[in-house]
Structure 1
């Protein structure tokens, strides 16, 4: 299957610029930034286990798109013909796109996460994600806080106010589970968040890390020194735990890491 066919399959368009959501006159820096933003959303290490297969394929396609739009000659050919050299893509499609991605972007530090959180909160992107999560979860706040980045309990009143305004304006329906959420349900959600926060701290202690602002950076440096895929996956998930997702518990994480490592090893043997 050609790259453009895969683009159509996974992104519903054969326009490489539309996939990255950029203008055809976008600079090289803008291309890289757009690729980084989208690849984070489908990075195999940052999605649920059930979504890993599709995310992996999307991640590969995005890598191919970036490989074309970041190369002056390949981009000019695409701009002129609206086609790509599938012969060349067939050569590079088996590239380890995870390595490609890691070489292209710097490692995530705790400061990076804080900066992104500051930019994300209150943005149009947050509102869009919030609306999509509300509709997908039919107003269930448990679902919403699991889907929207940085949706901690301290932000719930603000997020609810945004959704309430959307309801008042007729932009979204008023689901009873949202408008009349039982107090006990909210209490259980907050209790779960507190448990998960404690588990995250236990992870850091087990790695011999403190709670200072450089602790995640030190952890990632340890990761760079390790060649074990199990450690790579584990630390990536931990980075996600602090910034982009909700921790799922120590035992479950260990199980997922083990399964990911086994799957990777099996593929390499084949």
Structure 2
């Protein structure tokens, strides 16, 4: 199955720009940032053992797309003809590309962790760190105050982290590092989103616990 077929199967699009939420004139720093975000969401280290096979395939697909968009020749070919070079390579399921070099998947994952998110090696050091707080802050702003969005887009978080994330968010609001949810929604206090113990959102005024 070709890379674009896999894009359609797993990401419901054959448009690699749309997949990474990019414009066609996206610059290298934008491509890297978007790739980092997307690959983090499907990284095999972040899913249950039963989901690792699919996550690994998705991760490989994103790697190939990143290779295309960061190579002027491959990108020009895709932009002009809508195809990706070297489709059907027999080793494509075993290899990935990192910094312009084809490497075995295990080695690629190792390099990815070191380059994009070294904290993936040390969850215990990441949780509660300044890096996690910064990631929560960014996700809060990107997600317009949504706790669900924060949990989905921050490393290591799941539904059980809802109450802890809520406390972190409320503290940042008190410190005026981020605006309250009403800044995004325009809703009155009694309608603002607050997570319950399952990490879901309900309509209450958020207060620091």
- Cross-structure match for 2:141: 123
Which 5+ residue runs of structure 1 have no aligned equivalent? Answer: 134-142, 182-189, 191-270
Check whether the contact 1:120–1:126 (CA below 8 A) recurs between aligned residues. no
Which 5+ residue runs of structure 2 have no aligned equivalent? Answer: 96-103, 120-124, 152-157, 173-179
Match runs of 1:122-201 below 5 Å: 122-125=140-143, 127-128=145-146, 130=148, 144-146=159-161, 151-152=164-165, 154-155=167-168, 162=181
Q: What TM-score do the two structures reach when normalised by structure 1?
A: 0.48
Structure with the bigger percentage of helix = 1
Relative to structure 1, is the Cα distance of residues 167 and 85 closer, same or farther in structure 2, using a 3 angstrom cutoff?
A: same
Cα deviations across residues 192-249 of structure 1 (Å, max 9, x unaligned)?
Answer: xxxxxxxxxxxxxxxxxxxxxxxxxxxxxxxxxxxxxxxxxxxxxxxxxxxxxxxxxx
Structure with the bigger percentage of strand = 2
Check whether the contact 2:147–2:166 (CA below 8 A) recurs between aligned residues. no
- Cross-structure match for 1:61: 61
In 2, Cα distance between the equivalents of 1:33 and 1:85?
A: 23
Shift of 1:94: 1.8
- Cross-structure match for 1:103: 111
Relative to structure 1, is the Cα distance of residues 98 and 179 closer, same or farther in structure 2, using a 3 angstrom cutoff?
A: same
Shift of 1:132: 9.1
Figure out how many residues of one structure are paired with residues of the other and give that number. 166
Cα deviations across residues 159-208 of structure 1 (Å, max 9, x unaligned)?
Answer: 9x849x96958899xx9x96599xxxxxxxx9xxxxxxxxxxxxxxxxxx
Shift of 1:99: 2.2
SS at match of 1:92: coil
Shift of 1:107: 5.3
Shift of 1:117: 2.7
Relative to structure 1, is the Cα distance of residues 180 and 36 closer, same or farther in structure 2, using a 3 angstrom cutoff?
A: closer
Tell me how large the CA RMSD over aligned residues is: 4.1
SS at match of 2:83: coil
In 1, Cα distance between the equivalents of 2:31 and 2:50?
A: 29
Which of the two has higher C-alpha Rg? 1
Cα deviations across residues 79-106 of structure 1 (Å, max 9, x unaligned)?
Answer: 1101112446544332133422443525
Check whether the contact 1:28–1:70 (CA below 8 A) recurs between aligned residues. yes
In 2, Cα distance between the equivalents of 1:44 and 1:126?
A: 27
Which one has more relative contact order, counting CA pairs under 8 Å at least 6 apart?
A: 1
